[in-house]
Amino acid sequence: MKSHILGFPRIGSQRELKFALEAYWRKTCTETELQQQAAAIRLRNWTLQKKAGLDYVSVGDFSLYDHVLDMSVVLGAVPARFRSSGKFTLNTYFDMARGNAEAGIAAMEMTKWFDTNYHYIVPEIEPDMTFHYSSDILLQETTDALQAGFNPKPTMVGPLTYLALAKAQKGVNKWDVLESIVEVYGELLEELSEHADCIQLDEPIFCTDLPDEIRDRAEQVYAQLRDRAKHSRLLLGTYFGGLKENLELTARLPVDILHIDLVRAPEQLDAVLEKWPRHKMLSLGLIDGRNIWKSDFSTLLKTVEKAKQKRETDQLWIGTSCSLLHAPVSLEAENALPPELKDWMAFAVEKCTEVKTIAQIAQGFHEEQRLAENVASIKNRRTSLLAVDPAVRNRTEQADAGMCRRNRPFAERKKCQQQQLNLPPLPTTTIGSFPQTREIRKIRKAFREGLCDEKTYTRAMQQEIHSVIQEQEQAGLDVLVHGEPERNDMVEYFGQQLNGFCFSQYGWVQSYGSRCVKPPIIYGDISRSGPMTVDWITYAQSQTDKPMKGMLTGPVTILCWSFVRDDLPRKTVCRQIALAIRDEVQDLEKAGIGIIQIDEAALREGLPIRKDEQADYLNWAIESFRLATSGVSDKTQIHTHMCYSEFNAILHAIAEMDADVISIEASRSDMELLQAFEQFDYPNDIGPGVWDIHSPRVPTVAEICGLIQKALKVIPKEQLWINPDCGLKTRGWTETRQALKNMVNAAQAIRNTL
């Protein structure tokens, strides 16, 4: 019974990759030094997997930025705008991901990887694009692992998922290039098969509603790949859901091993055992790759026993549900966690051990002590009173539909709000955060570690807020923000002030590139002890006569960007968070703040990948947002923000949120979002982003004017706001000042034409 994982975190236990990347981008680290750090992380990852006793180490799961972008490079799918210099270099790779400010080259689009908070670089299929085997990095890493004494299992995004996620440019039918892409995959598999006895092709697209192009051609594609992978078994990795109606198609594919996600879709096991060919192997994804809770061995062993009734032991593999990319690296150094809570958890290293332990016990090896320890830990968690607050549960049950509705419809509210705010046409604002400088991080760290007192810290934050307000006034923005210097992260900041949360010290997870987040851990019932933002926002408002936005994170985003308890339904946890945020919204209104933004950046991310499961999610997610935001008067303007996801299909649900103003990512996709507004009459105000803040490149006034003019073709001028795509936390002040100035000047230029 083989034990394996689908992938390991690539950032390093202390975020070594992040710091090496950022040093390289600052030109304080050479390419050689960066590659040396990358090699050291890979070696450490392989060593950890082998030490856990896994039969394979995962190779190809490492990336300097994104594994989908890596596949584009392997295929030679480099858009023309990045090929002007002729030779492909590491800098070309980073230009594709981040853009090139000096050369005026826009980055490739970035969006969420299925329903996770990981962002991938969207492949572009251009007219006349030719595909050829262009990078042997996966082969090199495989041979490196072999030479170092490991048994490698190369892994890559499968061709059908890759092309399904790609975007066609200029009228191209992207499926026309499938044959060319499969040929390159074939070359790669042929080379890898000389060095690895198993190759993993990730096809999570099989857990979605398949397009006809895949349904019609999948068997042919995999027949070609099977022929080329001469000496290797092919493992088809499916995850993030169940195969459902795609099971019969999957069962016909000429692959040797099928991996299924039994965390997200445990109910699929019976059907898979019945329909997956009996002579082929089956990999059971039992260990949750997307959460941090210790596995219940007793329950999982029952699942394995069910599988053993239909399969020989050596036909079964034990693995994680998906890649451990979505989990922190190791629990070992987490000494600040309360011991009782820490005992309930498992990070990536511990999950590798869990995989091996389940495989050992299932084969009759004597692991009585580990099993007994696991049983005791699971029992302790189930019976602990740490997770239960009767007052919170009672309040959640008592919340009714009337608490989820504003007093009057939007059109009437807007009149009240405009009388109070007196905003010009096309009002300008930002999303919330401003650059987090080294000085800000330094004083925040000093306060956190007790090296400065609260008075000193407060004074420093107020000075920063005052400075940010001056910057915004000089830029000419209409609605200001306080810049959020006191916040380390938009979810962690609130979690630290809410009951029911705990926090790791080193539980970092990659979001994209060098951007890492440290998700809060929701272990218990959630409530607010007192105001969380009121003092900072009221101070900011006292420094300006212009309207100041209160800035909060919404309940769905706090839920999606946390590691959530798995002993309550997610919608119940979300409702608890909504009530806590509702209290804060009402306190801000009482303090005289007339505009309050409650960000729901993750609303689309939480959407199930199956259409038949989406309505239920949207119902409780939208209801939670409205529960958080509907306790204010008509004159209080509620904003929300969403970023980096495909929103077109759920605009009707976004409208149901009934936010007075929504800001949404749009510039990186060149306002592609606006196509949806041609068919859908969005009722409230909206600010499609006009500046891609995830690239260091500063857009020109002309570019921003062009985006505004595109927006005005489908959005009435009375409903249109002008803003960046997202917060400015990761940007530097030089580019921020210029981009904001350009944005305001563009808005004024368009106003003059109205």
Q: Where are the beta strands (DSSP E) in 682-732?
A: 685-688
What pLDDT was estimated at residue 673?
A: 73
What is the end-to-end Cα distance of the chain in Å, rounded?
Answer: 70
Structure confidence by residue, pLDDT tens digits, 348-389: 999 999 999 999 999 988 788 999 999 999 999 999 999 999
279 is catalytic: no
Task: State which amino acid sits at residue 635.
Answer: K
What pLDDT was estimated at residue 99?
A: 92
What confidence category does residue 137 fall into, taking pLDDT thresholds of 50, 70 and 90?
Answer: very high
Annotated binding site for 5-methyltetrahydropteroyltri-L-glutamate: 15-18, 112, 515-516, 561, 605
What confidence category does residue 645 fall into, taking pLDDT thresholds of 50, 70 and 90?
Answer: low
Q: What is the DSSP pairing of strand 498-502 with strand 233-237?
A: unpaired
Cα–Cα dist 623/620, whole Å: 5
- pLDDT score of 671 more than 80: no
> Mean pLDDT, to the nearest integer, of 30-44?
98
> Mean pLDDT, to the nearest integer, of 259-285?
97
Cα–Cα nearest to 133, from 75, 61, 53: 75
Q: What is the DSSP pairing of strand 521-528 with strand 498-502?
A: antiparallel
Q: Tokens in use for 106?
A: 């826009």
- pLDDT score of 468 more than 60: yes
Q: Which neighbouring-strand residues pair with 514? A: none
> Mean pLDDT, to the nearest integer, of 489-493?
90
Cα–Cα dist 159/218, whole Å: 10
* C-alpha triplet 534, 535, 541: angle, nearest 5°: 85
pTM above 0.85, yes or no: yes
Q: Give the contacts of 188 (CB within 8 A, at least 6 positions apart).
A: 74, 133, 138, 139, 156
Alpha-carbon dihedral sign for residues 116, 117, 119, 122: positive
- pLDDT score of 136 more than 80: yes
Q: Are 180 and 131 in contact (CB under 8 A)?
A: yes
- pLDDT score of 668 more than 70: no
Structure confidence by residue, pLDDT tens digits, 96-131: 999 998 888 989 999 889 999 999 999 999 999 999
What confidence category does residue 693 fall into, taking pLDDT thresholds of 50, 70 and 90?
Answer: confident
Q: Give the contacts of 448 (CB within 8 A, at least 6 positions apart).
A: none
Q: What is the DSSP string of 705-718?
A: HHHHHHHHTTS-GG
Cα–Cα dist 72/332, whole Å: 36
Query: Which three-class secondary structure string do you get for 233-297?
Result: EEEEECCCCCCHHHHHHHHHCCCCEEEEECCCCHHHHHHHHHHCCCCCEEEEEEECCCCCECCCH
Q: Are 676 and 654 in contact (CB under 8 A)?
A: no
Task: State which amino acid sits at residue 120.
Answer: Y
Cα–Cα nearest to 627, from 578, 580, 589: 578
Average pLDDT, whole number, for the chain? 95
The answer to which of 502-516, 634-648, 733-747 has the lowest mean pLDDT is 634-648
The hierarchical CATH code for the domain 411-611+620-646+654-751 is: 3.20.20.210
Q: Write phi, then psi, for 277 (nearest 5 degrees).
A: -50, 135
Task: State which amino acid sits at residue 376.
Answer: A
Residue 204 DSSP code: G
- pLDDT score of 226 more than 90: yes
- pLDDT score of 158 more than 90: yes
What pLDDT was estimated at residue 676?
A: 79
Query: Considering the chain, what percentage of its residues have pLDDT values greater than 90?
Result: 90
Residue 53 DSSP code: T
What does the longest C-alpha to C-alpha distance in the chain come to?
79
Structure confidence by residue, pLDDT tens digits, 509-550: 999 999 999 999 999 999 999 999 999 999 999 999 999 999
Q: Are 108 and 513 in contact (CB under 8 A)?
A: no
Helix residue ranges per DSSP H, 591-681: 614-629, 651-656, 675-679
Q: How many CB atoms lie within 10 A of CB 505?
A: 12
> Mean pLDDT, to the nearest integer, of 254-278?
97
Structure confidence by residue, pLDDT tens digits, 170-224: 889 999 999 999 999 999 999 999 999 999 999 999 999 999 999 999 999 999 9
- pLDDT score of 34 more than 70: yes
What pLDDT was estimated at residue 215?
A: 97
What confidence category does residue 696 fall into, taking pLDDT thresholds of 50, 70 and 90?
Answer: confident
What confidence category does residue 86 fall into, taking pLDDT thresholds of 50, 70 and 90?
Answer: confident
Helix residue ranges per DSSP H, 543-613: 555-560, 570-590
Annotated binding site: 15-18, 112, 431-433, 484, 515-516, 561, 599, 605, 641, 643, 665, 726
What pLDDT was estimated at residue 530?
A: 95
Of 259, 482, 639, 694, which one is the catalytic site residue?
694
Q: Give the contacts of 248 (CB within 8 A, at least 6 positions apart).
A: 275
What pLDDT was estimated at residue 494?
A: 95
The answer to which of 392-396, 446-450, 522-526 has the lowest mean pLDDT is 446-450
> Mean pLDDT, to the nearest integer, of 423-427?
97
What pLDDT was estimated at residue 523?
A: 97
- pLDDT score of 433 more than 70: yes
Q: Are 79 and 109 in contact (CB under 8 A)?
A: no
Annotated binding site for L-homocysteine: 431-433, 484, 599
Q: Write phi, then psi, for 478 (nearest 5 degrees).
A: -90, -40
Which SS3 state, helix, strand or coil, does residue 262 take?
coil
Q: What is the DSSP string of 182-198?
A: HHHHHHHHHHHTTT-SE
What pLDDT was estimated at residue 526?
A: 98
- pLDDT score of 141 more than 80: yes
What pLDDT was estimated at residue 488?
A: 85
Q: What is the DSSP pairing of strand 124-125 with strand 167-168?
A: parallel
> Mean pLDDT, to the nearest integer, of 29-54?
98
Cα–Cα dist 38/394, whole Å: 51
What pLDDT was estimated at residue 48?
A: 98
Q: Tokens in use for 406?
A: 């504003």
Q: Tokens in use for 433?
A: 């955060």
Task: State which amino acid sits at residue 656.
Answer: E
Q: Are 140 and 129 in contact (CB under 8 A)?
A: no
Cα–Cα dist 235/254, whole Å: 10
The answer to which of 184-193, 693-702, 740-749 has the lowest mean pLDDT is 693-702
